[in-house]
Amino acid sequence: MNEEQRSLLLQCSSHFAPPKGVKLSYGTAGFRADATLLRSTVYRVGILAALRSLKTQSVIGLMITASHNKVSDNGVKIADPNGGMLSQQWEPFADALANASDPSELLQLIDDFVRKEGISFDNGRPAEILLGRDTRPSGKLLVDAARQGISSIIGAISHDMGVLTTPQLHWMVRARNMGIKSTEHDYFQQLSHSYKCLVELIPNGKDVSKSNDKVVVDGANGVGGDKLEVLKHLCGGLIIEVRNSSKGEGALNEGVGADFVQKEKVVPSGFSPSEIGLRCASLDGDADRLVYFLMQPDSKMIDLVDGDKMLSLFALFIKEQLNVLKDNENETPCPYHPSLGIVQTAYANGASTSYLKNLGLDIFITPTGVKYLHEKASEYDIGIYFEANGHGTILFSDRILSWLEARNSDLSSSSTESQKAVLRLLAVSKLINQAVGDALSGLLLVEAILLHTGWSIQKWNELYRDLPSRQLKVKVVDRTAVVTANAETVVVQPAGIQEAIDSETAKYRHGRCFIRPSGTEDVIRVYAEAASQEEADSLANAVAKIVDQFLGSGSSQ
């Protein structure tokens, strides 16, 4: 790093003093906190984004959002060249940058890291970063801080893409680095074209008139509802009514949104009895989560159709298309049989895992966190992962995409079922956002598959019956005292606690329970399932007491 670069970093960073007494950590969600505490952090993440761009010689994304958090919070996260999350290897550097006490310490950290990583400021393309933000009032100020951080690296270029959903920014980064058109218009065009392609490939004789029962979507008073208003007009024939857009009077994520609906299992604000019996869906604040639901008559409660059910619907559809290709190999013989894998965490409802296993699918359980799910899913030709909260996607390997394109070329003169299956899979690969979970693309894929199958949301919801579950938090002095293994399903420390949990769980029909330390607060999370809600509640409370006995001074929530 030359003296000009050192001087610029020292000068600029002197205007962004970190908040005293605050320690921030970069995780799956990036940095998140009260927006008033984040100006220094976002400035420094701007520097990190520019360094990441120089290291990878690629376009990097920087998104200002706190997703499903309350409106007074905000956050910042990085999109890597493939559109995914920041490489885990860079997370410790992000933590160190955010918590450096003064400009001198910050400069030393950068200098050491640049030297270790072999980052050059002079050779190759300049750093280039795409900036996006959600609808939070604090977003503009934080984007400005990010731009100043980026400008602290000589030659770095930033492009303010405006108000976006988080998945849109990730999509744009991935597209830009793949050398394809990457504007917001291009995003809308790709999704709408792929959706219409799937609809055109619905088998002859299928009654699609049932599609006229509209889908009513809760936009969480955020950016997703606004973007969906644009997208629905491009899809043709898809009837979507948006409630709770950012232009309304409601507060972002307050009594609305996918996180609220999934956790509370109640009707979000903005819905009325006229929606009873209709397909309803809910996005979160930055539109990277999606859940569906049915309103119950004469009640504020809902039947939740969560991420596990979406995963099952997608898996069924893709398995059906692969089976068509396998059953018709005489048309174009090929020894290659693509692998289809399902990736879940221990929080997936046990009924969903049993259902998927009964379909003969390969199931793999990872630790909690999208970064683990995404990494494992990428090992399959087609990998599907979804968390129960509605965050997930489908990944198609380069190998299978090349194979599908070749099959499409071989079958181009025919209109066989194999040709249609190939085209459906190619359309899904373009409709789903392979960079990251995307509520808008996920919603369009659900709607297309329901049209294809002729199913109502009621029939979809009846694929299997969820086991009743309960989640609790137990306050503890030191959450790091709990060490887990086997994708967080077994406790190895402290000694004896797993045996106590197993003994208690064995008392309940269909009992399943695990505990894990929170990644952000001094609590131990308890998850329990059983044959009835009363039994699930009882098991969760019993295990919470076990946690308290072993770790002390706790209380369950």
Decide if 52 is inside a domain.
yes
Is residue 314 helix, strand or coil? Answer: helix
417 with 365, same domain?
yes
218: nearest Cα among 166, 274, 292:
292
Spatial neighbors of 323 by CB under 8 A, at least 6 apart, are: none
Instruction: Evaluate the CA torsion angle 286, 287, 293, 296 in order and state its sign.
Output: positive
Instruction: Read off the pLDDT of residues 506-549 as tens digits, 9 standing for 90 and up.
Output: 999 999 999 999 876 789 999 999 999 999 999 999 999 999 99
Decide if 176 is inside a domain.
no
Decide if 204 is inside a domain.
no
Candidates 67, 138, 152, 211; catalytic one: 67
Residues making up the binding site for Mg(2+):
67, 284, 286, 288
Query: Which of 163, 185, 217 marks a domain boundary?
Result: 163
Decide if 171 is inside a domain.
no
293: nearest Cα among 241, 217, 393:
217
Distance CA 165, CA 364 (A): 29
Is residue 248 helix, strand or coil? Answer: coil
451 with 526, same domain?
no
Decide if 191 is inside a domain.
no
Q: Which domain holds residue 538?
A: 469-551
Q: Annotated catalytic, 414?
A: no
Decide if 177 is inside a domain.
no
Q: Residue 62 — φ and ψ, nearest 5°?
A: -135, 115
Distance CA 480, CA 382 (A): 36
Residues making up the binding site:
67, 284, 286, 288, 387-389, 516-520, 525
Instruction: Count CA atoms closer than 13 A to 3's CA, side-chain side.
Output: 0
416 with 500, same domain?
no
348 with 451, same domain?
yes
Distance CA 23, CA 355 (A): 43
Mean pLDDT by runs of 10 across the 557 residues of the chain is 94 94 88 96 98 97 96 97 95 96 96 95 90 97 98 97 98 97 97 96 68 84 96 91 91 96 93 92 97 90 95 98 84 74 96 96 94 95 96 97 88 78 97 97 97 95 95 91 95 96 97 90 92 96 95 61
- Specify the DSSP element, H or E, that contains 345: strand 340-345
11 with 157, same domain?
yes
16 with 156, same domain?
yes
Domain count, the chain: 4
Q: Locate 386 and state its tokens.
A: 């979804």
Decide if 275 is inside a domain.
yes
Q: Locate 214 and state its tokens.
A: 């509209």
Instruction: Read off the pLDDT of residues 96-148 as tens digits, 9 standing for 90 and up.
Output: 999 999 999 999 999 999 999 999 988 778 999 999 999 999 999 999 999 99
117 with 231, same domain?
no
Query: Residue 513's Cα: distance from chain center in Å?
Result: 24
Decide if 320 is inside a domain.
yes
7 with 76, same domain?
yes
Residues making up the binding site for substrate:
387-389, 516-520, 525
We report the CATH number of the domain holding residue 300 as 3.40.120.10
Look at residue 211 in the predicted model and tell me its pLDDT.
Answer: 47
Distance CA 114, CA 50 (A): 12
381 with 513, same domain?
no
364-372, long-range: CB < 8 A, 24+ apart: 365/487, 365/489, 366/487, 367/487, 367/488, 368/488, 368/516, 369/28, 369/345, 369/519, 370/28, 370/85, 370/436, 370/437, 371/28, 371/85, 371/88, 372/345
Query: Which of 136, 163, 190 marks a domain boundary?
Result: 163
217 with 328, same domain?
no
We report the CATH number of the domain holding residue 515 as 3.30.310.50
Query: Which of 305, 330, 348 marks a domain boundary?
Result: 305
Look at residue 335 in the predicted model and tell me its pLDDT.
Answer: 64
Type of residue at 304: L
pLDDT averaged over the chain? 93
Q: Residue 176 — φ and ψ, nearest 5°?
A: -60, -40
Look at residue 397 in the predicted model and tell me its pLDDT.
Answer: 97
301 with 266, same domain?
yes
279 with 395, same domain?
no
